[in-house]
């Protein structure tokens, strides 16, 4: 295995802008043309030697080891930057999260001068935080492994105080200029006072503090914990306080090259108030031939780990692609690969043109280059296109990247998909952080002078100063070089002649619902990855052997350890797992000069391994996945289609449902070791079925994902339903058979699975934007009756479209309505009746009746509207609240239910129940920002000529759900009016602003005439916004289920100015949009909704005898009930009172007069219809009293009850 030189490990918890160590080796008199290879040398000037003995008069210099480092735990509210002996050592890169702990390994040298700038997030003009709504507080604590701790002996000085006197009504600040050399060893702090100690109770730290060792350290700050916002601490440590011996026989300057000035310090508005770091020397270790091309010198900070050589045409970079920084942490969409070293050396090295030339026809990364690298970072890590091979999915938005923008690909090869801007901490702004594969340099966000880069073209590049053409990084897509502006040979949609990856394991299936929580380099060549899955912690420990093989330990939640070993793959051979089933046959690929089926491309992502390749043992003869695109960044072929040939028991070319069910029964029986007719997690993870079946791997890997009732075990019915669902989704004609035409893989790449022929021409398929507002009341918009709240954009949508005056949500609260919208079904079909949490749990003491149990998530077997559109060739994206399954990428999340992209508040840096980040970003605006990027990438000028991909965008804003945190300017506007709730009105108007942004974007992109926009709410609003209707959210009275609704699409024949008074439910949107898009509904998925497509075009509305609601639960002011509306009459069955109520909505929309006793025949007629519907749909009924009922019990407080605008 190639040596990786001295790689000093740094373990970081939280997110840290890593500053890699640069270690001088002290080798006298030589350097390498191919750096790191002393056999190929050029003479350079001798560097000064340290005094001492040794051969040639040079002192023997010891390389530092990981054992020589000390661990530092640092916690600041909100942010800090730390220097040691004048050199940058650690930075908290998350200024808006006040309670994260940074943990980093340091290599100490004594005496040690520590300088820390800590900052609370006070606004520079007011000293207040959270959008100037309150005064914050600070706090700082530190502990080093040598016994150094914070305390009152530390020097402290405040430089930013406010609001003066605590006056929040008229805030003013006092600011003192920060000295430019405050971090220097020789800085004079003799005039400073000492830090003041504060108690833990005064700081109120959060959980990360308790997860780390701060024993013996004191919380410190300056004189005012609340009003001092920027404090600098200094402390000189002469020797290790714990008495350890001082080891100082390695070269000085090992932490980072000297910084010339402090890094930029930004205020809440991100306006720089400090200076950008000056760039360090290009070659701090003096290892590169002075005559080397400037591109080669750019790699100097990582000279210990790379081999750089050059000729007249190219600079060649040899690397193992394992960076110094922690990897993988934070990934939520994981393919189960881990970083292993690659042999990108010699003839297999990366090459960069020395003299880039502008191409006549540059290649865009938005339409090509979805495979292989498009750039190379100066630390030797390749950078791939941020968009996956499917040409749609943004890896950043999909949760597939770690804190540094990278992940491991199919060959366990680590690479980035985002620009490594953290490298600016090493080289400054004046030097590149990478190079495009066309040779043009890639810089960070700023120009060399520290000013933000401006005037970038569509490739994120421009001509600037003496640099000529170069690329820049951006915080938004395309993030780095948006393609290749320079001449480059392109083959099979990627840069030709790239190095080959050589993995020792087969690529693995994505593990849905897993999140990587930690990654450590335990020692040289030994790594440990920790992940959480379904609430349990798993660990993978692995060691890389000298011959390139690897030994793995898989540690389960119960401590059970499984070991596997892999041998390096040889040309024409193939690695294998020792003790496993080594598969025969097949061209394994990967050898030098080997001909590859998919072209000469890195198989880390460009192509899957084929059958016969070595790797992880497959129990019970389970075969590796087929299709060449099952893992990594490529499109995922559904499991049933991958394994269809293996499921064809009689080998007649057709897979029948009976064959799948029979195999499922046999596999279940084999895993059921104790024969109790249930499978536990241990039985599935650790057992064997004894049956040669493709189902084995799925059962082992996904086991408890099949548990639908939450009892931590899998029944025969649950397993059968899992595989029946897989089958029926792709059985297009519902004949119980999958034919070769339905599952075959053509040309090695499968078409979109299950795609149905469209009745529309490719260019005529309309885009769809679906707005679902949270808790918006029936008359909270201008078009539905509000004369207090201004909603001009929503009103325009309604005026130019069709308004449904009798629109209803399918349920009186959030989750069930969303499930109905996604499934097109009534709640009893999908089983989601309410939001599941302990506040509403059946049997709660404040419930009179035993409520029905609701599913916490919508089952993966449900064919969602997103899956239908995706199968119809649409790009699909969701932004906002899902509420139908926890996590970001499990089978019951949007990414598992048909959406290509899913963005939730956490993805955008928002805390729970917050509308603002600390830097002023507003949640509703940010969701719209991401949606517009998604649409622009598919329909804007960057999409190229010709028909671009149609899209389905689901904008499920968290607004207007309380607690409110409105925009201050809008609140001020409504406070002058009177007659309403200013904070609520401001929240609604913010939604309207974003509806306007979407409509404007559709027009700007030229797709407004081919787009359908639907606007509605998930349930009725609070009682203050539903009058004159009765009650509100949680109730089946009109106020709880009547919602505003309008459909817009002037260019698609949707008639403007129409009002339709037929009752329409949320579930009707599903079939309506399918018909408007020309997509046939899946015949195996039962739809309860009906299409109103003809009605929105001015035709007749569909006629239904009745519509129904069923809510067998408690929430807020609502209790167990069921309802039916037929014509103008509506009947409500109240389970607590064992009675019904009847209303004539035509004359009594407020439901004030109960007609049940006056019109018993009508009441009986509707009640009988309701009961038939309940039986037909299997509705869960509420019939038993709650034995735990306590009339004095108080319901647990929920999100709605915590008060408006509560700041945390």
Provide CB contacts within 8 A for 593, sequence distance 6+.
none
- Top pLDDT among 594 and 849 is at 849
Contacts 24+ apart (CB under 8 A), 1171-1176: 1173/1106, 1173/1108, 1173/1124, 1174/828, 1174/1110, 1174/1122
The answer on pLDDT for 440 being more than 80 is yes
CA gap 1118, 506 in Å, rounded: 53
The confidence score (pLDDT) of residue 631 equals 31
Tokens of 631: 């893992």
Question: Strand 901-903 vs strand 875-880: parallel, antiparallel, or unpaired?
Answer: parallel
- Top pLDDT among 120 and 112 is at 112
Compute the average pLDDT of residues 565-585: 45
CA gap 875, 1077 in Å, rounded: 13
Compute the average pLDDT of residues 235-246: 88
Compute the average pLDDT of residues 520-526: 85
Tokens of 567: 């041998």
CA gap 205, 209 in Å, rounded: 6
The per-residue pLDDT of the chain, averaged, comes to 80
Tokens of 942: 């960057």
Tokens of 902: 């899913």
Could you report the per-residue pLDDT of 874-887, keeping only the tens digit for each? Answer: 999 999 999 998 87
CB of 99 closer than 8 Å to CB of 77? yes
The confidence score (pLDDT) of residue 826 equals 97
CA–CA distance from 415 to each of 302, 412, 418, 419, 913 (Å)? Answer: 16, 10, 9, 11, 35
CA gap 1126, 1165 in Å, rounded: 10
CA gap 250, 213 in Å, rounded: 28
The answer on pLDDT for 164 being more than 80 is yes
User: Phi first, then psi: what are they for 202, rounded to 5°?
Assistant: -70, -30
Q: What percent of the chain is modeled with pLDDT above 90?
A: 46
- Alpha helix ranges (H) inside 313-431: 424-427
- Top pLDDT among 912 and 773 is at 773
The answer on pLDDT for 39 being more than 70 is no
CB of 880 closer than 8 Å to CB of 958? yes
Could you report the per-residue pLDDT of 705-750, keeping only the tens digit for each? Answer: 787 677 788 888 888 888 887 887 677 666 778 887 665 432 222 3
Longest dimension (CA), the chain: 113
CB of 869 closer than 8 Å to CB of 767? no
CB of 701 closer than 8 Å to CB of 631? no
The confidence score (pLDDT) of residue 373 equals 95
The confidence score (pLDDT) of residue 99 equals 67
The SS3 call for residue 384 is: strand
Question: 366 pLDDT band (50/70/90 cuts)?
Answer: confident
The answer on pLDDT for 758 being more than 50 is no
Could you report the per-residue pLDDT of 275-327, keeping only the tens digit for each? Answer: 222 233 344 434 456 678 889 989 988 877 888 988 889 999 999 999 988 89
The confidence score (pLDDT) of residue 57 equals 38
CA gap 1016, 1046 in Å, rounded: 7
The confidence score (pLDDT) of residue 15 equals 27
Question: 25 pLDDT band (50/70/90 cuts)?
Answer: very low
The confidence score (pLDDT) of residue 277 equals 28
Query: Order of strands across the sheet with 1107-1111?
Result: 1107-1111, 1121-1126, 1129-1134, 1139-1144
The confidence score (pLDDT) of residue 195 equals 96
Q: Which of 309-323, 497-511, 578-592 is the least confident region?
A: 578-592
Give bridge partners of residue 408 from the DSSP assignment: 414
CA gap 587, 567 in Å, rounded: 17
The answer on pLDDT for 1110 being more than 60 is yes
The answer on pLDDT for 943 being more than 80 is no
CA gap 799, 632 in Å, rounded: 47
The answer on pLDDT for 559 being more than 60 is yes
Q: Which of 286-295, 746-755, 1153-1162, 1166-1175 is the least confident region?
A: 746-755
First to last CA, the chain: 52
Give the angle subtended at the CA of 168 by the CAs of 162 and 171, to the nearest 5°.
50
Closest CA to 1167 of 1119, 1143, 1128, 1132: 1132
Q: Where are the beta strands (DSSP E) in 750-844?
A: 767-773, 802-804, 807-808
Report the phi/psi class of residue 600: left, alpha or beta, with left for phi > 0 and alpha for psi in -120 to 50.
Answer: beta
The confidence score (pLDDT) of residue 78 equals 83
Give bridge partners of residue 455 from the DSSP assignment: none
Question: 687 pLDDT band (50/70/90 cuts)?
Answer: confident
Q: What is the pTM of this model?
A: 0.47
CA gap 1203, 14 in Å, rounded: 31
Closest CA to 1080 of 896, 873, 820, 772: 873
Q: How many CB atoms lie within 10 A of CB 681?
A: 18
Q: Which of 264-268, 424-428, 696-700, 967-971 is the least confident region?
A: 264-268
Compute the average pLDDT of residues 894-922: 89
Q: How many CB atoms lie within 10 A of CB 653?
A: 12
Which residue has 């499921």 as its token pair? 647
Question: 262 pLDDT band (50/70/90 cuts)?
Answer: very low
Could you report the per-residue pLDDT of 606-652, keeping only the tens digit for each? Answer: 333 322 333 333 333 333 333 333 333 333 456 777 777 778 777 67
The confidence score (pLDDT) of residue 865 equals 97
Could you report the per-residue pLDDT of 75-110, keeping only the tens digit for each? Answer: 998 889 999 998 888 888 665 566 678 888 888 888
The confidence score (pLDDT) of residue 20 equals 30
CA gap 1086, 830 in Å, rounded: 11
Could you report the per-residue pLDDT of 441-485, keeping only the tens digit for each? Answer: 999 999 888 889 999 999 999 998 778 899 999 988 899 999 999
The SS3 call for residue 1062 is: coil
The confidence score (pLDDT) of residue 95 equals 59
* Residue-wise DSSP of 41-72: EEE-PPPPPPSS-SGGGPPP-PPP-GGG-EEE
CA gap 1190, 1195 in Å, rounded: 11
CB of 596 closer than 8 Å to CB of 607? yes
Question: 1032 pLDDT band (50/70/90 cuts)?
Answer: very high
Highest mean pLDDT among 60-74, 977-991, 1138-1152: 1138-1152
CB of 482 closer than 8 Å to CB of 366? yes
> Which domains are delineated in the chain?
641-743 (1.10.238.10), 773-841+851-1099 (3.40.720.10)
The answer on pLDDT for 670 being more than 90 is no
Question: 925 pLDDT band (50/70/90 cuts)?
Answer: very high
The confidence score (pLDDT) of residue 637 equals 57
The answer on pLDDT for 508 being more than 90 is no
CB of 1048 closer than 8 Å to CB of 797? yes
Tokens of 351: 């090459």
Question: 813 pLDDT band (50/70/90 cuts)?
Answer: very high
The answer on pLDDT for 917 being more than 80 is yes
CA gap 900, 560 in Å, rounded: 35
Q: Which of 365-379, 383-397, 544-558, 1126-1140 is the least confident region?
A: 383-397
The answer on pLDDT for 1174 being more than 80 is yes
Identify the burial level of 493 via C-beta atoms within 10 angstroms of its C-beta, where 0-12 means exposed, 13-18 middle and 19 or more buried. middle
- Top pLDDT among 954 and 724 is at 954
Between helix 982-1004 and helix 792-799 the angle, nearest 10°, is: 50
Give the angle subtended at the CA of 1172 by the CAs of 1166 and 1176, to the nearest 5°.
145
Could you report the per-residue pLDDT of 386-438, keeping only the tens digit for each? Answer: 998 777 778 888 889 999 999 998 888 999 999 999 999 888 888 999 999 99
Compute the average pLDDT of residues 159-179: 89
The confidence score (pLDDT) of residue 1093 equals 95
The SS3 call for residue 495 is: strand
Question: 271 pLDDT band (50/70/90 cuts)?
Answer: very low
């Amino acid at each position: 295995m190639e040596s990786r030189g001295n790689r000093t490990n740094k373990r970081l918890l939280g997110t840290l802008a890593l500053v890699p160590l640069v270690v001088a080796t002290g080798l006298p008199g030589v350097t390498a043309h191919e750096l790191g290879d002393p056999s190929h040398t050029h003479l350079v000037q001798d560097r000064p030697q340290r005094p001492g003995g040794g051969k040639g008069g040079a002192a023997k210099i010891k390389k530092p080891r990981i054992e020589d480092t000390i661990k530092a735990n640092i916690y600041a509210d909100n942010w800090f930057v730390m220097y040691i002996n004048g050199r940058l050592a650690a930075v908290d890169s998350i200024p808006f999260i006040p309670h994260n702990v940074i943990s980093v390994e340091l290599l100490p040298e004594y005496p040690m001068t520590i300088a820390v700038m800590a900052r609370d997030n006070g606004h520079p003009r007011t000293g207040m935080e959270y959008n100037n709504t309150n005064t914050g507080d600070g706090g700082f604590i530190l502990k080093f492994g040598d016994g150094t701790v914070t305390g009152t002996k530390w020097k402290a000085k405040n430089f930013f105080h406010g609001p003066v006197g605590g006056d929040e009504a008229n805030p003013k600040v006092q600011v003192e200029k920060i000295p430019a050399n405050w971090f220097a060893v020789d800085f004079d702090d003799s005039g400073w006072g000492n830090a003041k100690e504060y108690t833990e109770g005064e700081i109120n730290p959060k959980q990360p503090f308790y997860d780390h060792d701060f024993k013996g350290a004191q919380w410190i700050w300056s004189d005012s914990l609340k009003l001092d916002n920027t404090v600098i601490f200094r402390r000189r440590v002469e020797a290790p306080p714990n008495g350890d011996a001082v080891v100082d026989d390695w070269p000085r300057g090992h932490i980072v090259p000297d910084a010339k000035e402090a890094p930029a310090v930004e205020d809440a508005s991100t306006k720089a108030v400090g200076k950008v770091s000056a760039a360090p020397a290009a070659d701090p270790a003096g290892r590169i031939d002075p005559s080397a091309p400037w591109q080669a010198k750019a790699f100097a900070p990582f000279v210990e780990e790379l081999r750089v050589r050059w000729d007249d045409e190219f600079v060649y970079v040899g690397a193992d692609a394992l960076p110094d920084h922690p990897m993988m942490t934070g990934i939520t969409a994981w393919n189960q690969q881990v970083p292993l070293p690659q042999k990108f050396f010699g003839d297999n090295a990366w090459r960069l043109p020395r003299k880039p030339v502008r191409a006549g026809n540059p290649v865009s990364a938005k339409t090509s280059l979805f495979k292989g690298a498009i750039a190379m970072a100066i630390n030797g890590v390749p950078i791939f296109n941020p968009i996956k091979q499917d040409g749609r999915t943004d890896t950043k938005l999909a949760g597939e990247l770690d804190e540094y923008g990278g992940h491991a690909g199919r060959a366990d090869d680590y690479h980035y998909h985002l620009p490594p801007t953290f490298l600016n901490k090493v080289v400054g702004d004046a030097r590149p952080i990478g190079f495009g594969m066309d040779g043009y340099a890639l810089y960070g966000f700023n120009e060399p002078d520290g000013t933000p880069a401006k005037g970038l073209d569509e490739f994120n590049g421009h001509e600037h100063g003496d640099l000529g053409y170069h690329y820049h990084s951006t915080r938004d897509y395309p993030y780095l070089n948006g393609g290749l502006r320079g001449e480059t040979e392109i083959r099979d949609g990627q840069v030709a002649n790239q190095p080959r990856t050589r993995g020792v394991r087969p690529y693995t299936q994505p593990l849905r619902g897993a999140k990587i929580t930690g990654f450590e380099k335990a020692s040289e060549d030994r790594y440990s990855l920790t992940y959480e899955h379904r609430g349990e912690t798993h660990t993978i420990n692995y060691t890389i052997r000298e011959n390139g093989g690897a030994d793995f330990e898989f540690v389960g939640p119960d401590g059970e350890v499984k070991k596997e070993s892999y041998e390096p793959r040889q040309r024409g051979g193939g690695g294998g797992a020792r003790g496993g089933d080594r598969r025969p046959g097949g061209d394994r690929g990967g050898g030098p000069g080997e001909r590859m089926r998919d072209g000469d491309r890195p198989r880390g992502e460009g192509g899957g391994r084929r059958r016969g390749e070595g790797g992880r043992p497959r129990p019970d003869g389970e075969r590796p996945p087929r299709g060449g695109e099952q893992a990594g960044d490529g499109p995922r072929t559904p499991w049933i289609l991958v394994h269809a040939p293996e499921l064809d028991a009689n080998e007649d070319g057709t897979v029948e449902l009976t064959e799948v069910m029979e195999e499922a029964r046999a596999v279940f029986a084999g895993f059921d070791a104790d024969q109790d007719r249930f499978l536990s997690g241990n039985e599935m993870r650790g057992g064997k079925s004894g049956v040669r079946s493709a189902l084995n791997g799925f059962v082992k890997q996904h086991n408890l994902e099949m548990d639908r009732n939450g009892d931590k075990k899998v029944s025969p019915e649950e397993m059968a339903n899992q595989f029946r669902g897989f089958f029926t989704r792709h059985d297009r004609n519902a004949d119980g058979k999958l034919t070769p035409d339905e599952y075959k893989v053509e040309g090695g790449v499968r078409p979109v699975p299950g795609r149905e022929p469209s009745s529309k021409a490719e260019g005529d398929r309309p885009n769809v934007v679906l707005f679902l507002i949270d808790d918006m009341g029936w008359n909270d918009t201008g078009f539905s009756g509000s004369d207090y709240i201004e909603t001009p954009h929503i009103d325009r949508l309604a005026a130019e479209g069709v308004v449904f005056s009798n629109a209803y949500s399918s349920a009186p609260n959030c989750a069930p309505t969303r499930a109905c919208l996604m499934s097109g079904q009534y709640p009893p079909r999908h089983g989601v009746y309410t939001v599941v949490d302990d506040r509403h749990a059946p049997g709660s003491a404040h419930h009179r009746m035993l409520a029905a149990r609701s599913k916490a998530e919508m089952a993966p077997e449900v064919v969602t509207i997103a899956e239908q559109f995706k199968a119809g060739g649409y790009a699909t994206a969701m932004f906002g609240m899902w509420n139908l399954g926890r996590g970001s990428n499990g089978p019951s999340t949007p990414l598992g239910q048909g959406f290509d992209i899913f963005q939730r508040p956490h993805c955008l840096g928002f805390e729970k129940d917050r509308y603002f980040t600390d830097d002023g970003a507003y949640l509703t605006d940010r969701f719209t920002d991401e949606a517009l990027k998604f649409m622009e990438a598919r329909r804007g000028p960057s999409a190229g000529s010709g028909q671009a991909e149609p899209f389905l965008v689901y904008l499920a804003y968290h607004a207007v759900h309380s607690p409110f945190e409105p925009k201050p300017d809008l609140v001020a506007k409504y406070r002058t009016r009177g007659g309403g709730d200013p904070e609520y009105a401001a929240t609604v108007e913010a939604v309207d602003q974003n509806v306007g942004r979407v409509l404007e974007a559709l027009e700007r992109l030229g797709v407004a005439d081919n787009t359908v926009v639907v606007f509605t709410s998930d349930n009725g609003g609070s009682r203050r916004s539903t009058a004159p209707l009765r009650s509100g959210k949680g109730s089946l009275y009109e106020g709880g289920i009547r919602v505003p609704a309008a459909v817009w699409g002037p260019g698609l024949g949707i008639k403007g100015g129409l009002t339709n008074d037929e009752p329409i439910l949320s579930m009707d949107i599903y079939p309506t949009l399918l018909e408007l898009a020309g997509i046939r509904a899946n015949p195996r998925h039962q739809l309860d909704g009906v299409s109103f497509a003809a009605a929105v075009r001015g035709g007749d509305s569909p006629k239904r005898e009745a519509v129904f609601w069923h809510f067998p639960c408690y929430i807020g002011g609502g209790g167990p009930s069921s309802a039916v509306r037929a014509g103008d009459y509506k009947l409500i069955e109240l389970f607590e009172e064992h009675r019904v109520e009847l209303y004539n909505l035509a004359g009594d929309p407020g439901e004030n007069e109960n007609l049940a006793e006056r019109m018993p025949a009508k009441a009986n007629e509707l009640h009988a219809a309701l009961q038939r519907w309940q039986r037909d749909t299997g509705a869960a009924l509420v019939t038993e009293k709650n034995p735990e009922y306590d009339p004095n019990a108080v319901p647990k407080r929920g999100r709605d009850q915590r008060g408006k605008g509560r700041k945390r």
